[in-house]
């Protein structure tokens, strides 16, 4: 029976609507009257959040050994953390690992919340490797290019992070024509090199300010190029990866282009305190994930927590912060059916308390949390 949810301010993907209600009929949002009413105790109703960078969950990392069943588990875990749609993300690995993960994602087709894949590497810049294995970073070959383009035909979406040091503008143009979302990251490039990559078809930047050439007065680097209006840039708003002052500068420079990512690793939705990444030990301490030498290795973060940190430390308007985790990622993936609460859209939505704590999650109309 149609159910109407009341008592919370509704964010429909673009606008906050105090006093509005949300009606769900089966697995879809409807504008008809509900026969049942469910009263929420304040807070906010949002579209299900979308996370374009999740490296793991439930104690496991995305890898070449990940199975279709693992992908289903990743999606379920992240849904219970507020992200009803995710791009499982493989960091720099071998061609065999990449091919295996694509095959697993194809076998997992139709899994609720599986939006596609994000391949973060291996075509990066070893000078900005971060926690990636430098031994596996390499230039893109014709075989790599063809494999990625073929992989896109088998997946609902494919986002690839590359660095200008390892790909050519022509390769970026080919990826873009194939329907792949190209993002620049782990790059020590100049502003001019980044601009050429954007002109070739790259539209995004991966985890702004982290593992990239920084903004200086005479060489703006990739960080400066990322703040160009019209470019999308992922932001890890945990208060550790990016200082609040830097977040405020980026929000002022490119207010419509930033979106939130968790960069979540294996501990997401799990009590584990350490794990391994490419044979290296990763420590989980006080909300921080690091290699033993202190290098940040992903984030211990959920998107609701990122919203709370962004609003609290930068004063970002609620409509903007909510859109950065819902309708903006949907637009990047060309998914107008997601990231909005409107008649006919999937009934994927979450309830946040006034403190932005996660109070409830519904996917296809069914409550998960």
Residues tagged active-site: 263
Q: For residue 36, what are the β-bridge partners?
A: 3
Q: What is the secondary structure of 13-79 as a DSSP string?
A: SS-EETT--EEEETTEEESSPPSEEEE--SSEEEEPEEEEEE-EETTEE--TT--HHHHHHHHHHHH
In a 13 Å sphere around the CA of 298, the CA atoms on its Cβ side amount to 30
Q: Note whether 88 and 157 are within 8 A (CB).
A: no
Q: Could you tell me if residue 225 is left (phi over 0), alpha (psi between -120 and 50 degrees) or otherwise beta? A: alpha
Closest CA to 53 of 213, 183, 165, 175: 183
Q: Note whether 254 and 223 are within 8 A (CB).
A: no
Going from the C-alpha of 145 to that of each of 6, 121, 163, 177, 204, the distances in angstroms are 50, 13, 14, 12, 19
How far apart (Å, rounded) are the C-alpha atoms in residues 235 and 259? 6
Sign of CA dihedral 113, 208, 334, 193: negative
Q: Which residue in this structure is represented by tokens 């997601």?
A: 338
Helices (H), the chain: 68-79, 95-107, 142-154, 169-177, 191-200, 221-226, 244-253, 303-314, 318-323, 327-332
Q: Note whether 80 and 40 are within 8 A (CB).
A: no
Query: Which residues are CB-neighbours of 288 under 8 A, at least 6 positions away?
Result: 240, 296, 300
């Amino acid at each position: 029976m149609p159910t109407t949810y009341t008592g919370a301010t509704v964010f429909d993907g673009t606008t906050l609507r105090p006093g509005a209600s949300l009606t769900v009929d089966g697995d879809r949002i409807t504008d008809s009257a509900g026969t049942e009413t469910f009263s929420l105790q304040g807070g906010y109703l949002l579209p299900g959040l979308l996370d374009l960078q999740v490296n793991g969950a439930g104690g496991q990392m995305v890898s070449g050994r990940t199975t279709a069943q693992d992908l289903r588990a990743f999606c379920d875990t992240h849904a219970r953390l507020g992200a009803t749609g995710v791009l499982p993300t493989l960091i720099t690995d071998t061609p065999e690992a990449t091919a295996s993960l694509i095959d697993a994602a194809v076998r997992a087709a139709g899994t609720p919340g599986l939006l596609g894949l994000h391949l973060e590497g291996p075509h990066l810049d070893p000078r900005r490797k971060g926690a990636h294995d430098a031994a596996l970073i390499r230039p893109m070959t014709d075989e790599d290019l063809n494999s990625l383009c073929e992989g896109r035909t088998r997946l609902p979406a494919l986002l690839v992070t590359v660095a200008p040091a390892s790909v050519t503008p022509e390769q970026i143009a080919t990826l873009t024509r194939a329907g792949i979302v190209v993002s620049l990251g782990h790059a020590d490039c100049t502003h001019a090199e980044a601009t050429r990559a954007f002109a070739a078809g790259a539209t995004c930047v991966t985890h702004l300010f982290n593992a990239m050439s920084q903004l200086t007065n005479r060489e703006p680097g990739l960080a400066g190029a990322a703040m160009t209006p019209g470019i999308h840039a992922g932001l890890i708003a945990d208060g550790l990866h990016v200082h609040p002052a830097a977040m405020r500068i980026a929000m002022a420079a490119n207010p419509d282009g930033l979106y939130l990512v968790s960069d979540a690793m294996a501990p997401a939705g799990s009590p584990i305190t350490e794990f391994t990444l490419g044979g290296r030990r990763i420590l989980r301490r006080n909300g921080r994930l690091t290699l033993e030498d202190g290098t940040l290795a992903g984030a211990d973060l959920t998107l609701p927590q990122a919203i709370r940190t962004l609003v609290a430390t930068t004063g970002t308007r609620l409509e903007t912060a909510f859109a950065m985790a819902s309708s903006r990622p949907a637009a990047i993936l060309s998914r107008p059916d997601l990231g909005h609460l409107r008649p006919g859209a999937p009934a994927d939505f979450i309830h946040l308390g006034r403190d932005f704590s996660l109070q409830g999650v519904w996917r296809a109309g069914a409550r998960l949390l």
